[in-house]
Amino acid sequence: MSLKVENLKVETPKFKILKDVFWEVERGEIVSLVGESGSGKSISALSVLKLLPENFKISGKVEVDGVEPLNLNKKELSSFRWEKVSMVFQDPSSSLNPLLTIGEQIIEPMLYHRTVKSKEEGRERALELLKLCQVPKAEERLDSYPHHLSGGLKQRCAIAMALACNPSYLLADEPTTALDVTVQKKILELLKKLSKTKNLGTLLITHDMGIVQEISDKTYVLYGGYTVESGKTEEVLANPRHPYTKGLIECSPKLNGGVKRKLKTMAGNVPEPSEEIEGCPFHPRCPKAREICRKEMPPVVEEREHKFRCFFPLLKE
């Protein structure tokens, strides 16, 4: 039982956004999708739910417990989005409707998808979800509007709404970016708890390697529309094989003490989708780049459960 993406491509009439992305989430685990802004993380998650603009062409394989959402019609897709896979967006202030109370927004999908029989039953279920998401004064919050709540509370309510129809998988697009550190930690602990208690498969989109280390079971690193490295989180962080993964790790501060080190940076920027880069998309920024890197796209190399896309992988430490 898993949500699996293979050879995912997304393109517009003018340029290609995703060229070859793969990742997989199993029930009960948290998987991180990592990379700088513009790497293709959010686009790949939105592709699963077909939430991209109509002129975006999606191809490749997306399979969720045997169901291929790219082949579903509009009615089937509506049920799939709530009952099988749901999404928590980056900014709850934008994803929550300012004209409806929190309770109304949680109850509405339950009534539409007939997971409850009445508003009264829906209100009871909504209250349970708010308590599950550790919202204080949950009953009072049911009648609150989004602007009455802090950023952390709004994000908890957004998570509760995403769980309204008891989905099997949750796509969380940088759900802690706009929150302070203490609230961020509580949201991450909540996601971890939900994954275990509800057997929920969670995809966490982030650029914070500290979050990855703290919460993830597996990690997929994206760059320039490609998955460039993947594996168990502890293995990827301890022995990165792709230079980009190592660069991300070296750019992240260590908060657990140890020897002091100078925080490194990576020269250059993530390529724009409109840029046509021959060969490996990372070669303009890569300290290990050779002539073949500038001409050919490296294949995916697999070492047990650790995969990477590089002609000159870093040696294991």
Residue 255 in this model has a pLDDT that exceeds 60: no
Confirm whether 74 is domain-assigned: yes
Enumerate the β-bridge partners of residue 30.
202
Confirm whether 146 is domain-assigned: no
Coil, helix or strand at residue 302: strand
Distances, alpha carbon 110 to alpha carbons 98, 100, 113, 212, in Å: 19, 15, 5, 32
Q: How far apart are CA 266 and CA 39, in angstroms?
A: 15
pLDDT digits (tens, 9 = 90+) for 21-31: 999 999 999 99
Confirm whether 136 is domain-assigned: no
Task: Report residue 91 CA to chain centroid gap.
Answer: 14
Residue 267 in this model has a pLDDT that exceeds 90: no
- Tell me which residue range forms the domain holding 298: 2-84+167-309
Confirm whether 294 is domain-assigned: yes
pLDDT digits (tens, 9 = 90+) for 56-70: 999 999 999 999 999
Confirm whether 234 is domain-assigned: yes
Confirm whether 55 is domain-assigned: yes
Confirm whether 135 is domain-assigned: no
Total domains in the fold of the chain: 1
- Total-model pTM: 0.93
Confirm whether 259 is domain-assigned: yes
Residue 230 CB partners (closer than 8 Å, separation 6+):
22, 23, 218, 219, 220, 221, 236, 306, 307, 308
E-strand spans in the chain? Answer: 2-11, 16-26, 30-34, 57-64, 85-88, 169-173, 201-206, 218-223, 226-232, 300-303, 306-309
The CATH number covering residue 253 comes to 3.40.50.300
With bands split at pLDDT 50, 70 and 90, how would you rate the model's confidence at 317? low
Q: How far apart are CA 264 and CA 36, in angstroms?
A: 15
